[in-house]
Chain A
Amino acid sequence: MKRFEFLIEWALFLCALLSIGTTVGIIGVLAVETFAFLREVPVTDFLFGTEWTPLFATPRFGVLPLVLGTVLVSTIAMVVALPMGLLSAIYLSEYAPPRVRRLIKPVLEILAGVPTVVYGYFALLFVTPLLQRFIPGLAGFNALGPGIVMGIMIMPLVSSLSEDAMQGVPRGLREGAYALGATRMQTSLRVVLPAAFSGITAACILAGARAVGETMIVAIAAGQQPRLTASPLVPVETMTAYIVQVSLGDTPQGTLEYRTIFAVGMLLFLGTFVLNLISAWLRARYREEYL
């Protein structure tokens, strides 16, 4: 019996070790290839260059167009997801009767389970044509359509996590506000929302990290043209979409072009990692205050 317990313990430990090992391995590969890349391309050219043409005869390795493309699409996504997500969280947490909440919350979370490739085609074949009716200058591939669709995709994340944060606010605070003659709206906006602020911020940052890392929608619908622009109407390329593009192409392994995807991948990883850290830190702080 004791030996059996021992075996189980080790088996479980190995499983845990495997997942950590994988993560470390991935970071290791990223780091090694990035390092090799940076030996040939100066880091300042990479980070601050404004042209990204690694597959051209005279390659340029300025990553800014990709970063800007990512920021542009993510910003549009957040502009869509934050208000919608927050308002639905307020509704679900403060207004909806328990029965309605039990019905709506899972339905909302199903949105998060739709394969992103479906969202990508939805952006390309439905949303963009629809937008073109109102915005004549909109290209067939653009940042706006995928941005909006990505916003719809991450909205449930914002809503669900924010609602959890608001549910975590003690009932006593709500009662305190109601007892002073506060309406439901005043209680929600001026007491519950500020009290859940760090949890909600954490949710928003997590959603932002998700938007930055999202790949399929932008690879399909944003155009794959690295371009330094703030216009949401023309084709752009994000970091993730670029990685897809090169990975699917026939760039020979070990070349500088090939290594670009690791350098971009590293940058992406660092970006989302920092966002996740901030989010986790905020959530930890939030727990301290109320539990």
Chain B
Amino acid sequence: MSRDATATRPPSLAAIAARGGPPPAIDRPVKIQAEGLNFYYGGTRALEDISIRIHSNVVTAFIGPSGCGKSTFLRTLNRMNDIIPGTCAEGKVLVDGVDIYKPGVDVVELRRRVGMVFQKSNPFPKSVFDNVAYGLRINGMAGSHSELAARVEESLRQAALWDEVKDRLHDSALAMSGGQQQRLCIARALAVRPDILLMDEPASALDPIATQRIEELVYDLKTTYTILIVTHNMQQAARVSDYTAFFWLGRLIEYDRTEKMFTAPAETLTEDYVTGRFG
């Protein structure tokens, strides 16, 4: 219990600057690239001319006040906004160099490669096992039962949940705690082996201990995945991310290495936001 007391205390900006650790590699290849992306909900423009390059195998955080477009942008990357009627995107989003808004793109295949974890954990009303196995089954990746079971175990281990649920894999997922449910949703997303993991405020509904576990998980997962995380919590962005993008009123204001964003941002708007002057 003493461990999380220190973990939840926001680190000072100097501490973040002094944190060191492995510097984000700028030579990492570009995984996702948006070019002149506009997005509309009906007649309202929610994203305005967004251009950004997101690097492979790093954690990129999207911050900004409510309604700034950070979640909308995240959801354009696996075309999750398609299911909301009356929306429309223009411009380009390249994932591994391919424009995902080009006609003829297989959205189902895209979403398998670009996994997503939501703000409110959304386990299916099925057992723990069936939740993780769901994506494998629908994508025809289930194989034999032992292969399926192995994959489920591996995913639950990756999400640091295996030890807690191994004895109740066939209990309902809805009986678990909020933090466990969210890690289950992460395991579920990892099971189909995506390259990219989108996380839309994954810890906003969780208590500090559960939040810390999610953050540790994000840190561990970035060796294998490209992670994009939307967060309201600036300390969280500072703790988990290598790069940070600041959105404001549907525009991308600034995008840089996280320690630079939090210590010496180029824009006054960014500085006002990260120091808590508004938002």
Which of A174, A181, A191 touches B108 (beta carbons < 8 Å)?
Answer: A181
Contact between chains at B138 and A172 (CB < 8 Å): no
Instruction: Judge whether B118 is part of the interface by a CB distance below 8 angstroms.
Output: yes
Choose among B80, B135, B138 the residue with the greatest number of A CB atoms under 10 Å from its CB: B138
Contact between chains at B135 and A181 (CB < 8 Å): yes
Question: B residues 99-125 with Cβ under 8 Å of A?
Answer: 108-109, 111-112, 115-116, 118, 120, 122-125
Contact between chains at A179 and B125 (CB < 8 Å): no
Provide the main secondary structure of the chain A interface.
Answer: helix
Instruction: Judge whether A178 is part of the interface by a CB distance below 8 angstroms.
Output: yes
- Chain A nearest CB from B152 CB (Å) reads 14
Instruction: Judge whether B188 is part of the interface by a CB distance below 8 angstroms.
Output: yes
B 216-237 binary contact with A (CB < 8 Å = 1; else 0): 0000000000000000000000
Contact between chains at A190 and B138 (CB < 8 Å): yes
Tell me the complex Cα distance, A172–B119, Å: 9
A 262-289 binary contact with B (CB < 8 Å = 1; else 0): 0000000000000000000000000001
Which of B109, B125, B138, B192 touches A195 (beta carbons < 8 Å)?
Answer: B125
Contact between chains at A180 and B83 (CB < 8 Å): no
Instruction: Judge whether A113 is part of the interface by a CB distance below 8 angstroms.
Output: no
Instruction: Judge whether A183 is part of the interface by a CB distance below 8 angstroms.
Output: yes
Contacts of A186 in B (CB 8 A): 138
Tell me the complex Cα distance, A176–B118, Å: 8
A: number of interface residues (CB 8 Å): 21
Contact between chains at A194 and B125 (CB < 8 Å): yes
Are A178 and B125 CB-contacts (below 8 A) given A97-B85, A98-B85? no
| Nearest CB in chain B to that of A183: its residue | B108
Are A175 and B138 CB-contacts (below 8 A) given A180-B189, A181-B109? no
- Chain B nearest CB from A179 CB (Å) reads 4
Contact between chains at B138 and A176 (CB < 8 Å): no
- Chain B nearest CB from A232 CB (Å) reads 38
Which of A175, A181, A195 touches B112 (beta carbons < 8 Å)?
Answer: A181
Contact between chains at B85 and A180 (CB < 8 Å): no
| Nearest CB in chain B to that of A192: its residue | B124
B: number of interface residues (CB 8 Å): 26
Are A177 and B134 CB-contacts (below 8 A) given A98-B85, A195-B124? yes
Contacts of B115 in A (CB 8 A): 179-180
Which of A170, A174, A181 touches B83 (beta carbons < 8 Å)?
Answer: A174
Instruction: Judge whether B78 is part of the interface by a CB distance below 8 angstroms.
Output: yes
Are A180 and B135 CB-contacts (below 8 A) given A174-B83, A175-B83? yes
Question: B residues 193-221 with Cβ under 8 Å of A?
Answer: none
Contacts of A289 in B (CB 8 A): 125, 174
Contact between chains at A182 and B188 (CB < 8 Å): no
Tell me the complex Cα distance, A174–B116, Å: 12
Instruction: Judge whether B19 is part of the interface by a CB distance below 8 angstroms.
Output: no
Instruction: Judge whether B93 is part of the interface by a CB distance below 8 angstroms.
Output: no
Contact between chains at A180 and B125 (CB < 8 Å): no
Question: A residues 122-169 with Cβ under 8 Å of B?
Answer: none
| Nearest CB in chain A to that of B114: its residue | A179
Contacts of A182 in B (CB 8 A): 108, 134-135, 138
Contacts of B122 in A (CB 8 A): 170, 172-173, 175-176
Contacts of B166 in A (CB 8 A): none
Instruction: Judge whether B185 is part of the interface by a CB distance below 8 angstroms.
Output: yes
Question: B residues 107-162 with Cβ under 8 Å of A?
Answer: 108-109, 111-112, 115-116, 118, 120, 122-126, 134-135, 138-139
Contacts of A173 in B (CB 8 A): 122, 124-125
Contact between chains at B124 and A179 (CB < 8 Å): no
- Chain A nearest CB from B202 CB (Å) reads 13
Contact between chains at A181 and B120 (CB < 8 Å): no
Choose among A170, A177, A289 the residue with the greatest number of B CB atoms under 10 Å from its CB: A177
- Chain B nearest CB from A95 CB (Å) reads 12
Are A172 and B135 CB-contacts (below 8 A) given A98-B85, A183-B108? no
Contacts of B185 in A (CB 8 A): 176
Choose among A177, A180, A191 the residue with the greatest number of B CB atoms under 10 Å from its CB: A180
Contacts of B189 in A (CB 8 A): 179-180
| Nearest CB in chain B to that of A194: its residue | B125
Tell me the complex Cα distance, A173–B125, Å: 9
Tell me the complex Cα distance, A289–B124, Å: 12
Which of B111, B139, B174, B192 touches A178 (beta carbons < 8 Å)?
Answer: B111
Tell me the complex Cα distance, A176–B188, Å: 9
Tell me the complex Cα distance, A173–B122, Å: 6
**A-B CB proximity, top 6 nearest:** A181-B112, A180-B135, A172-B122, A179-B116, A176-B122, A181-B111
List A residues at the B interface (Cβ < 8 Å).
97-98, 170, 172-183, 186, 190-191, 194-195, 289
Contacts A176-B185, A181-B112, A195-B124 known; list 13 others, CB within 8 Å: A170-B122, A172-B118, A172-B120, A173-B122, A176-B123, A177-B138, A178-B83, A180-B138, A180-B189, A181-B108, A181-B192, A183-B138, A190-B138
| CB<8 Å pairs between A and B, sample of 6 | A175-B83, A180-B138, A181-B112, A181-B138, A186-B138, A194-B124
List B residues at the A interface (Cβ < 8 Å).
78, 80, 83, 85, 108-109, 111-112, 115-116, 118, 120, 122-126, 134-135, 138-139, 174, 185, 188-189, 192
